[in-house]
Amino acid sequence: MRVNRSLRNLVPGNKAAWYMLTMVIAFAITVVGTRLYLDITGYPQLGNETFHFAHALWGGLLQAVSAILMLVYLNEWVFSLSAALAGIGIGLFIDEIGKFITQSNDYFFPLAAPIIYVAFILCVFAYLYIRRHETDDTRATLYGVLEDLEMLLDDNLDSKTHRSLINRLERVNEEAERPDLQHFSGALLTYLQSEQVNVKPPRNTYWTRLGEQLARLENRFLPKAVTHKLLILAFAVLGAISLIKIGVLFSIVVDQRSLDNPFIANLLEDNPLIKGIYSFNWYVVLLTIESAIGILYAIAVVSFITNRDRVGLQISSAGLILSLTIGNTLSFYFNQFSVVLDSLLLSAVLILVMRYRQRFDQIRLKPPVAFQPLMPKRD
């Protein structure tokens, strides 16, 4: 008997993006929190002369608990809990990556921080891909319908989800090529449109209230003129910092005697991870990348000042993404976890750029986008 290969295609869940976001946030908070806690407490160890219970073990335990919960239970809140536990488990596990890749079990091995950062960035990219991924496949649509029908079983089906279910079933009923799916969707549609369904008013959740409050604050304190000036200021500061690095790079490349300059000498000698010609060359590569990013920031500032916002948004976004990915990956090697604050500030500027694009991009025909909770989208 032949099996239709299309039936084996993976189908993402309606709340997949929310679960991924929960995992990513838990991952980041766990790594930063663990490093901060260990640094403050002097790196205590749980165990005795024979045993040492590393936190990687607790991370593996939490990941196992997360997997078991998802295999056994179907409740939506269980998946949210499992996503959080998985993120914490991954954070605790990967925080000790330095011990796993060195013969000496060196927790502070310089390459550990870049590996952790790259793992985090890959998780963020996975979240963004899942959040933007859409499919018009009728089979996948019905999967989503069945997932949302859990609300009917729990007697908390709100009017917004009810309308979304009806719209999706109507579309499946019109577009489905399989008669069995047409009959199935038609039967569900008939039932959902009947008076037997208990539909409740839209839920005023914490996330909904938070989104509405943020939208009000944004409209009040960040109108277009203010946001435009903030972008110019932010990229002017980032560009000025890069100018210093461009000067250092130029001095090193043009004249090796500049290494005797007190400022440059202190900059290099104060970094214990610049130990020889190999690490020094990589540091020059880092300066080169950051210098190029600084030039992009400068061009973005000029574009914003001359009211060529679309060009400024594109160039500044490219510079921020390059800095958060390639630049910060190298920076984590030389500066270890002190780059976390820089990453947070760059992320905040990137969010500001994205919000400006969504709210004030005049070329787009869509109305300005208000803050929305980062929950999965429904039709």
Nearest to 295 by CA among 216, 334, 238: 238
Q: For helices 16-41 and 76-94, give the axis angle rounded to 10 degrees.
A: 40
| Side-chain half-sphere exposure of 254, counting CA atoms within 13 A | 6
Q: Would you place residue 280 in the very low, low, confident or very high pLDDT band (cuts 50, 70, 90)?
A: confident
Instruction: State the pLDDT confidence band at 259, using cuts at 50, 70 and 90.
Output: low
Band (pLDDT 50/70/90 cuts) for residue 287 is confident
- Segment 78-101, tens digit of pLDDT: 999 999 999 999 999 999 999 999
Q: What is the pLDDT of residue 58?
A: 94
Q: How far apart are CA 182 and CA 170, in angstroms?
A: 10
The model carries a pTM of: 0.81
Residue 150: φ, ψ to 5°: -60, -30
